[in-house]
Amino acid sequence: MIAYIFGGITTNSAGTSGRPQRQGTQETRSRQLPEQATVDSGAVAGRVALADDDLLLREGMASLLGRQGFEVVGQAGDAADLLTMVRETLPDLVVVDIRMPPTHTNEGLEAARTIREEFPQIGILVLSAYVEVEHATELLATGQSIGYLLKTRVTDVGEFTETLRRIIKGGSVVDPTLVHELVSARRRNDPLDVLSSREREVLALMAEGRSNAGIARHLWVTEGTVEKHVQHILTKLRLPETGDDHRRVLAVLTFLEGSQGGS
């Protein structure tokens, strides 16, 4: 499943292991992008800027998004070109590879940070070949309209395009592999000790990407009861007084970081 942290969400895909994902050759990776029928819609789903040094993968992604109703406003092969393009086109969303020329370390991540500082209204989806926990949690802590996915998710057209739409609407998206790596570790000095067992259960379901309605169905309680639990969680964790959606993200990050602390 992709973990949609807030925004009336559902989850629908299986996680993968935390090991590096083999991407194969450029030609193979481009061919992995499946064909999909063109979406017939009068409205553009969103204006998207793409940044990846793999030209074939980038072109394949642009073609896929065009068929799904998105407008690709430009493409870049490195972080410098991406920043120039974003400043000129002001897209709704940037999709950027975490590792780009010249050093292939964290140029994409640094570009994402710059974009968030200069244009906080622009959504950002960072793609990575494998999970980098520190980078991912740092990104998610920057607020709304942010996402971190493994590149293997691009091959599922429906899931990938739904991810883009969620981020454009203000949602935050976490790859399930990241969640699994964090929550599988033993917790020590648990920051969630202030919560009741039921509140911890609700928070764990929030971290899985369930909406309040989804949590209510899972626990066989009313949605109103879940809303009360969520408010108690946000209050007990002493989260800053921001929008409820952002506080929900911070609560989930507290849950994930508490899990990481036991590793």
Q: Which residues contact 241 (CB under 8 A, 6 or more apart)?
A: 247
Domains parsed from the chain with CATH numbers: 3-181 (3.40.50.2300), 187-260 (1.10.10.10)
For residues 208 and 17, give the distance between their C-alpha atoms in angstroms, rounded to a whole number: 16
Contact 205, 4 (CB under 8 A): no
pLDDT tens, 154-173?
888 888 999 999 999 998 88
Identify the weakest region by mean pLDDT among 118-127, 181-190, 221-230, 232-241.
181-190
pTM of this structure? 0.59
Q: Is the pLDDT of residue 57 over 80?
A: yes
Which of helix, strand or coil describes residue 76?
Answer: strand
Distances (CA, A) of 224 to 39, 212, 250: 37, 9, 21
Q: If pLDDT is split at 50, 70 and 90, which confidence band does 36 have?
A: very low
